[in-house]
Amino acid sequence: MLSGARVVLRAQGQWDAEEICTLIRQQQVNILGFTPSYGSQLAQWLATQGQTLPVRMCITGGEALTGEHLQRIRAVFQPELLFNAYGPTETVVMPLASLAPQQLEEGEASVPIGRVVGARVAYILDADLALVPQGASGELYIGGAGLAQGYHQRPGMSAERFVADPFASNGGRLYRTGDLVRQRADGLVEYLGRIDHQVKIRGFRIELGEIETRLLEHEAIREAVVLALDTPSGKQLAGYLVSDVAGQGDEQQAQLRESLKSHLKAQLPDYMVPTHLILLDSMPLTANGKLDRRALPAPDPELNRQHYVAPASELEQQLAAIWCAVLNVEKVGLNDNFFELGGDSILSIQVVSRARQVGIHFSPRDLFQHQTVQTAAVATASELIQAEQGLLQGASALTPIQHWFFDTPIPERQHWNQSLVLEPLTALDPRLLEQALRALLEQHDALRLSFTRQNGKWQAEHRAVTAETLLIQAQVADMAECAALYADTQRSLDLQNGPLLRALLVDGPQGQQRLLMVIHHLVVDGVSWRVLLDDLQTAYRQLSEATPVRFAAKTSAFRDWAARLQAYAGNESLREELHVWQRQLGGPLAQLPCHNPQGGQQNRHAQTVSVRLDAERTRQLLQQAPSAYRTQVNDLLLTALAQVVCRWSGQPSTLVQLEGHGRETLFDDIDLTRTVGWFTSAYPLRLTPAVAGDAAPGESIKAIKEQLRQVPHKGLGYGVLRYLADSASKAAMQAMPAG
Q: Which of 52, 49, 10, 8 is nearest to 31 (CA)?
A: 8
Among 158-167, 239-248, 347-356, 697-706, the range with the most confident prediction by mean pLDDT is 239-248
- Name 125's bridge partners: 131, 139
Phi, psi dihedrals of residue 139, rounded to the nearest 5°: -90, 140
Half-sphere exposure of 118 (CA within 13 A, CB side): 15
Q: What are the pLDDT digits (tens) for 592-612?
A: 777 777 666 677 777 888 888
The predicted pLDDT at position 233 comes to: 43
718 vs 11, more confident: 718
Q: How far is it, in rounded angstroms, from Cα 408 to Cα 206?
A: 39
Instruction: Assess contact for 183 and 124: CB atoms under 8 A.
Output: yes
pLDDT class for 158, splitting at 50, 70, 90? Answer: confident
Q: Which of 9-13, 24-28, 103-107, 352-356 has the highest mean pLDDT?
A: 24-28
At 443-454, the pLDDT tens digits run 999 999 999 999
CB 652 within 8 A of CB 688: yes
Least confident of 83-87, 551-555, 688-692: 688-692
- Residues 6+ positions from 354 with CB-CB distance below 8 Å: 322, 325, 326
**Burial label, 664 (beta-carbon count in 10 A; 0-12, 13-18, 19+):** middle
**What local confidence, expressed as pLDDT, does residue 692 receive?**
52
Distances (CA, A) of 472 to 142, 189, 468, 484, 568: 45, 51, 11, 14, 42
The fold adopted by the segment(s) 17-125+140-178 is Rossmann fold (3.40.50)
pLDDT of 265 > 90? The answer is no
- Topology annotation, domain 202-304: GMP Synthetase; Chain A, domain 3 (3.30.300)
The CATH number given to 562-589+614-734 is 3.30.559.30
Return d(Cα 729, Cα 713) in angstroms, integer.
18
Q: Provide the total of helices (H) and of strands (E) in the chain, helices listed first.
A: 22, 24
Label residue 382 by pLDDT band (50, 70, 90).
very low
Which CATH number applies to 314-379: 3.40.50.720, 3.30.70.100, 3.50.50.60, 1.10.1200.10? Answer: 1.10.1200.10
Name residues whose C-beta falls within 8 Å of residue 472's C-beta, 6 or more positions apart in sequence.
489, 492, 502, 503, 504, 505
Q: Are 555 and 674 in contact (CB under 8 A)?
A: yes
Domain range annotation of the chain: 17-125+140-178, 202-304, 314-379, 394-554, 562-589+614-734
What is the average pLDDT score of the chain?
A: 85
The SS3 call for residue 504 is strand
pLDDT-wise least confident of 504-508, 652-656, 693-697: 693-697
Q: How many CB atoms lie within 10 A of CB 49?
A: 11
Do the domains at 314-379 and 394-554 have one common CATH topology?
A: no
The Cα 143–Cα 356 span in angstroms is: 60
Q: Over 70: is that where the pLDDT of 691 sits?
A: no
- Tens digit of pLDDT for each residue in 655-672? 899 998 888 878 777 888
Burial of residue 237 (CB within 10 Å: 0-12, 13-18, 19+) is buried
Detail the DSSP E strand segments found in 432-560. 449-454, 457-462, 471-475, 501-507, 513-520
pLDDT at 315: 87
Query: Which range, of 86-90, 289-293, 719-723, averages the lowest pLDDT?
Result: 289-293
Residue type, 709: R
The pLDDT of residue 383 is above 70: no
* Stated pTM of the model: 0.54
Examine the pLDDT at 736 and tell me if it is beyond 70: yes
Least confident residue range of 125-139, 198-212, 393-407, 710-724: 198-212
Whole-number pLDDT of residue 232: 42
How far apart (Å, rounded) are the C-alpha atoms in residues 42 and 53?
Answer: 10
The class level of CATH for 394-554 reads: alpha beta
For position 82, what pLDDT does the model report?
A: 96
Q: Which has more pLDDT, 697 or 662?
A: 662
Is the pLDDT at 683 greater than 60? The verdict is yes
